[in-house]
Amino acid sequence: MSDKFDVIQTEIVDQIGWLTLNRPGYRNAISQDMWRAIPEKLSQMHDAGAKVVVIHGAGGNFASGADLEELEQIDNYARAQHFWHALSEAVDYVYAFEIPIIAMIDGACIGGGLLLSLACDLRYASNDASLGVPVARLGIVLDDENIARLTYLVGPAFAKEMLFTGDAITAQEALSIGLVNKIEDVTSLRATVEKQAKKIIENGYASIIESKRSVRRATSEGARGGLLPQHETVVVSSYLTSDFRNRIKRFFGD
């Protein structure tokens, strides 16, 4: 298994922290080690003086989802729970992180990649980005917390359409329903993100932090009370169904 610190790279430039998902050969599919490394890397950048963090992917994709090879190895409840906690704890950490986080989305932003972007404060995408959450195609269940984040952004009708069909949408479609803040040509995306990050840093920082906290409180009703134990059982158990096993095999041509 790859060293988690090889596939999660960071640097800080002018108080902007850059966290790079670095598995371009796998379109930055996010392994369990990567999920577990994300909170640690974010904390390190915060301690080192970053005032804004940008999460992006290497090689022309944000993240194509969870690591399918790892998903195929799930064969009991404990392994399914282990996988789910790695993912959910990482995205929850991103969502609750003290300083602003920007998702810079290029290429594929699918499944776990989309969940990671939903936990960020702002999302800027290239015009060739593709965004989707194909849980229905895998026959697995997504938790209330992540569905709430999607629904708060795009509304219940579009959230249901994305969840029920499993279809990926274009960057322009994502912009039209509020899933991303802005789209740019791929050649100017990084410059736009840097400009917005610098603008945040130049503003009153106490105001920014309190605004982030206020927005989080304003959207904390309902599902944001936390994942109920009985629902966690439903979510985790969905990785053990024969439907999921058959669908994941199809991805590998078995």
Polymer length in residues for the chain: 254
Domain, as residue range, for 23: 4-202
pLDDT value at 231 more than 90: no
Question: Any idea what the Cα angle at residue 7 is, between residues 13 and 97, rounded to 5°?
Answer: 55
Cα–Cα distance measured from residue 114 to residue 65, given in angstroms and rounded to the nearest whole number = 8
- What confidence category does residue 3 fall into, taking pLDDT thresholds of 50, 70 and 90? very low
Tell me what the mean pLDDT of segment 32-53 comes to. 97
Q: Is residue 212 assigned to a domain? A: no
Residue 222 lies in a domain: no
Residue 210 covered by a domain:
no
What percent of the chain is modeled with pLDDT above 90?
77
Count of domains for the chain = 1
User: Tell me, what CATH number does 77's domain have?
Assistant: 3.90.226.10
Can you name the residues that pair with 12 across neighbouring β-strands? Answer: 17
**Span 94-112, average pLDDT:** 97
pLDDT at 222 over 70: no
Which of the four pLDDT bands, split at 50, 70 and 90, describes residue 234? confident
pTM for this entry: 0.89
Q: Mean pLDDT, to the nearest integer, of 88-92?
A: 96
Render 183-195 in DSSP notation, one character per residue. Answer: EE-TTTHHHHHHH
Residue 224 — pLDDT band, cuts 50, 70, 90? very low
The average confidence (pLDDT) of the chain is 91
The reply to whether 162 falls in a domain is yes
Q: What pLDDT shows up at residue 1?
A: 35
Whether residue 62 is contained in a domain is answered as: yes
3-state SS, residue 226: coil
Answer whether residue 176 is part of any domain: yes
In a domain, 76, yes or no: yes
DSSP-derived 3-state class of residue 101: strand
Q: Where are the alpha helices (DSSP H) in 8-143?
A: 32-47, 68-72, 77-96, 112-119, 135-138
Q: How far is C-alpha 207 from the chain's CA centre?
A: 25
Q: Does the pLDDT of residue 68 top 60, yes or no?
A: yes
Q: Collapse the DSSP code of 30 into the 3-class scheme (helix H, G, I; strand E, B; otherwise coil) and give the result.
A: strand
Is 76 in a helix, a strand, or coil?
coil
* pLDDT mean over 219-229: 55
**Quick check: is 218 in a domain?**
no
Closest to 14 measured CA to CA, from 41, 55, 60, 45:
45
Between CA 201 and CA 140 the distance in angstroms is: 40
Question: What digits encode the pLDDT tens for the residues 131-155?
Answer: 999 999 999 999 999 999 999 999 9
